[in-house]
Amino acid sequence: MTGAERTWDVLTKLGVDVIFGVPGGAILPLVDAMVAQQGDLRFVVTRHESAAVHAADGYARVSGKPGVVLATSGPGGTNVITGLATAMADSVPLVLVLGQVASGLIGTDAFQEADLFGMTMPVVKHSWRIRHAGEIGPVLTEAYRIAQFGRPGPVVIEFPKDTQMQEVDNEPASFPEPPAPVLRPQPLAWARARAYLARSRRPIFYIGGGVVISGTAPTVKRLAERYQAPVTTTLMGLGAFPSSHPLSIGMLGMHGTWTANHAMQQADLIIALGVRFDDRVTGRLDSFAPHARIIHVEVDPSEINKIVASDAALVGDLAQILPQLERHLPEAAQHDEWLAQLARWQAEHPVRVPESPAGAVAAPRALQILRSVIRPEDIVVTEVGQHQMWTALFIPRDHPRTFVTSGGVGTMGHGFPAAMGAQVGRPDVRVYLIAGDGSFQMNLQELATLVQYQIPIRIIVLNNQGHGMVRQWQDLFHGGRRYGVKLLNPDFVKLAQAYGMNGFTVNSEGALAEALTVLADQPGPVLLEVVVPEDEHVYPMVPAGRSLSEVIEGA
């Protein structure tokens, strides 16, 4: 068989069932071999390579399987870099197969040649260049394994065109079981952790995306209930602990709840699980959690002590560490006084919901109304901006892999194609995309992909006529001098209809509630535009560089 045929033979045996991408000259042998295979492999052709990577990213986040992307050389490859950086920051497993000019032309500035191997290296876990078709089986197998084990992330395979056409023996591909991770002894760290757990009177679990990735959400719930400690989550950790649980105090950080932020500042023990102490979480570092000992459990040793020093660092997979941690919990732990204090704070400092003005729906109210039709098993995807933070605050998630958003890089334009990929990965559930008018237009062309493949996502565009989060920062920190944030938008409803899908617009709470009942029963893709106030700010907010104690609750 040819190298291209060998590629699909190996990938399908690895369990790959869908490819996202855009065809092009340097990958035509791969595309041709995919067609000739006539198997169950599905090729979703997006309108832009950046959308292909984001779609594969969304597929991976909800399915737990690596997303696979196909892109051609030159601009096809350069267009994927933002998507790779997005996946790398959020620990999303991707396998990117990149076409390249023929081996003899590499380095000659041939047509559509670019050093994709070098360009992508800073934003991937590992890179390969296929030099002979005989390498295809071992490289693809290793790439698929590296993408998903340990701390997941994207990998790149650069595939010169001539190697795609080389003949290779049709030998059975071998798929050896990856070695089980070895948990190294950490007796001092465990002794410290046990002592801190026994002494603590104000503990808190601080959990992130690592809990979702490791599949340990049920274990974390059991630990929190047994230890009777509150739980706060990062943006990436939403769904890792049920938002409806009495021990949940919501998201923390820049737009986290007043209670979660003050709990971190008053805690005497922080049990950090699968988190990296991002600056949006910690606020001002020299005032972060001044009274707390920190137990940090993390699979990636480079994250230990990188930003915040830990008192007991437990390096390893959460699936291995947490059962041991459970054995170190004190018997009959009670933290009634601490939990009562948090309950008082929650009552005294709820997240404020403004009234809707005439001719618009206050964004928090829009999300509260939307919440009434979203089922626990449905998947909620956001773009990046104010709507992202409002969604995190007002759309509770009780199950892992039901909330998808770009966290570490904050990539506008990620959410729409990620929602398409999520729906492809989970066709059995409803997928809701919540977008702002600015970020939605970053990959607006994918409406065509949505309709062509009849991917039935439900799009909610909160339209405030501009880049709302940038405008908020200009209002609060730059003297109210607004520039570059007012957008001339299309008529989103007419645009949806031009692509062949249904679209609606509403500007009142009653109309929104009525439209959502229609939206929930739509068999295909549908877009709902909600007019929201142009000058609305998202609160709570901890200004950048300030302590978590300095929460602004509202105007």
Tell me if residue 111 is catalytic.
yes
Catalytic site residue from 1, 13, 37, 112: 112
List C-alpha distances in Å: 353 to 509, 524, 554.
Answer: 13, 32, 10
Distance from chain centroid for Cα 518: 28
* Three-state SS letters, 169-213: CCCCCCCCCCCCCCCCCCHHHHHHHHHHHHHCCCEEEEECHHHHH
Catalytic site residue from 43, 111, 171, 553: 111
Rounded to an integer, what distance in angstroms lies between the CA atom of residue 352 and that of residue 448?
38
Closest CA to 34 of 55, 56, 65, 3: 3
Left (φ > 0), alpha (ψ -120 to 50) or beta: where does 332 sit? left
Q: Can you give the C-alpha Rg of the chain in angstroms?
A: 24
Residue 336: how many CB atoms within 10 A of its CB? Answer: 8
Catalytic site residue from 165, 254, 469, 541: 469
Tell me if residue 121 is catalytic.
no
Rounded to an integer, what distance in angstroms lies between the CA atom of residue 10 and that of residue 145?
13
Tell me if residue 161 is catalytic.
yes
Beta carbons of 329 and 307 less than 8 angstroms apart: no
User: Which residues have CB under 8 Å from 247's CB, separation 6+?
Assistant: 224, 225, 228, 229, 230, 231, 241, 339
Tokens representing residue 72 in the block: 């051609």
Beta carbons of 69 and 80 less than 8 angstroms apart: yes
* Three-state SS letters, 382-443: ECCCHHHHHHHHHCCCCCCCCEECCCCCCCCCCHHHHHHHHHHHCCCCCEEEEEEHHHHHHH
Q: Show the CA angle centred on residue 209, arms to residues 204 and 213, nearest 5°.
A: 125
Helices of type H across 336-400 = 336-348, 363-371, 386-394
Closest CA to 503 of 513, 492, 490, 512: 492
Catalytic site residue from 117, 125, 158, 161: 161
Residue 24: how many CB atoms within 10 A of its CB? Answer: 19
DSSP 294-324: EEEEES-GGGTTSSS--SEEEES-HHHHHHH
Rounded to an integer, what distance in angstroms lies between the CA atom of residue 308 and that of residue 498?
51
- φ, ψ dihedrals at 201, nearest 5°: -115, -15
The sign of the CA dihedral 125, 56, 381, 424 is negative
Rounded to an integer, what distance in angstroms lies between the CA atom of residue 201 and that of residue 343?
16
Tell me if residue 501 is catalytic.
no
Tell me if residue 469 is catalytic.
yes
Beta carbons of 406 and 421 less than 8 angstroms apart: no
Catalytic site residue from 5, 20, 34, 49: 49
Residues serving a catalytic function are 49, 111-112, 161, 469
